[in-house]
Copies of this chain bind each other. A is one copy, B any other.
Amino acid sequence: MTRLTIRIDFGSQTAFGPGKARLLELIGKTGSIRRAAAAMEMSYRQAWLLVQAVEATFGGAVVETARGGVRGGGARLTVLGQELLARYRAVEAKASQAVRTDVAALAKLAGTQGTQHRRSLRPRKSRARKTARS
């Protein structure tokens, strides 16, 4: 299955990509930074820092939190957070649509039937291949 991943860089220190998008999405769905962090197998602190980074980039709150209450508060996306996420998903959808011919051609070159088929062409170097990615 061929899939496109898109990262948008705003200036040199501020990027928005699949990780931050997924985190915002999960915060919106679960109503909790902690649950969203757990779903992504990251620490609460990591998730919190990512939210801070997004807020620094976009100059405003993307997550609203409420302290206290029965379960110790909750979190939800602000209008800015929702807009950001929706725009990013639109970017993904439009980009994928625009490049589907080229990506199909690449996938054909790659022979997406399965990696084991490709590996059998060069059996001696399979270990090197497993370690190299990008």
Contacts and interface: CB of A to CB of B under 8 A. Distances in A.
A20 to B, nearest CB: 5
A115 B4 contact: no
Contact of A10 (B98, B107, B132): B107
A71 interface: no
Nearest to A51: B132
B56 A119 contact: yes
A34 B100 CA distance: 34
Interface of A: 1-17, 19-20, 46, 48-50, 52-53, 55-60, 80, 83-84, 87-88, 90-91, 94-95, 97-99, 102-103, 105-107, 109-112, 114-115, 117-119, 121-122, 125-126, 128-134
